Amino acid sequence: MSTDQPPAPPASARRRQCVAAAAAATAACLAPLAVLLAVLVLAPSLLPRLLLRPHHVVPVVASAELRLLAFDAAAPAVAYNLSATLRFDNPGGLYTWRCTALRAAPSYAGQRLGDAAALPGITARGAGAGDARAAAWAGTQRVPPGRRARAVAAALARDRAAGWYVIKVDVATVQNGAESDFACVLSFPAAALARNGSGAAVFDGGRCVDAVHGEI
């Protein structure tokens, strides 16, 4: 059996191997440094938002009451009377949380019911701190005749048959300088309202969800 050793690679191949090994070692040494630099650059802007200055608090509908929801096909128009209490709970942090430009507007079957209600701002500090704001809407909202009027009439008949009137409340806020919009869906027992749409139906409350900005 032959014991000859394999021929040594040429000098150019050895140089390429050395260069590749040096490049790999350099990359391995620089990777932690790059991560550290990224953390140092991003930390001043991310840490206040993520840890210290919460700016996106989802509101909760603490309670709501529907006293009138009726449709006049001859007008056509929707008569409405409802109220809701929105609660904002600061999730925590060391800094003050502020909620300004707070507005809420109800709609039924895609039809806005009156103008948005402007509510006082909220300032809270510390975990669990927060406040509530009450809003009320009442009046008569004209509905464009034709397709929109038929949609509202059909929604009323459908909800009455299902046993629940479903009203959406859009909420717009500016929290610590960042705009945040929400959608709150309120369900009221239809049996609590008379056939003419008047009475007192109570919604026990529930959490709102994020919504597309600009709906209000």
What are the 10-residue block averages of pLDDT along the chain, 216 residues in total? 55 64 63 64 52 70 95 96 91 76 96 96 77 96 96 95 94 91 94 84 84 62
CB atoms inside a 10 Å sphere around CB 40: 9
Q: Cα(187)–Cα(182) distance, rounded to whole angstroms?
A: 17
Secondary structure letter of residue 50 according to DSSP: I
- Give φ, ψ of 182 to 5 degrees: -140, 160
3-class secondary-structure state, position 48 = helix
Is the Cβ–Cβ distance between 48 and 178 less than 8 Å?
no
- The reported pLDDT for the residue numbered 52 is 45
Cis peptide bond prior to 76, omega within 30° of 0: yes
Nearest residue to 158 (alpha-carbon basis) of 166, 148, 146, 149: 166
Confirm or reject CATH 3.30.310 for domain 60-210, answering yes or no.
Answer: no
> Considering the entire predicted model, what is its pTM?
0.72
Is the Cβ–Cβ distance between 107 and 78 less than 8 Å?
no
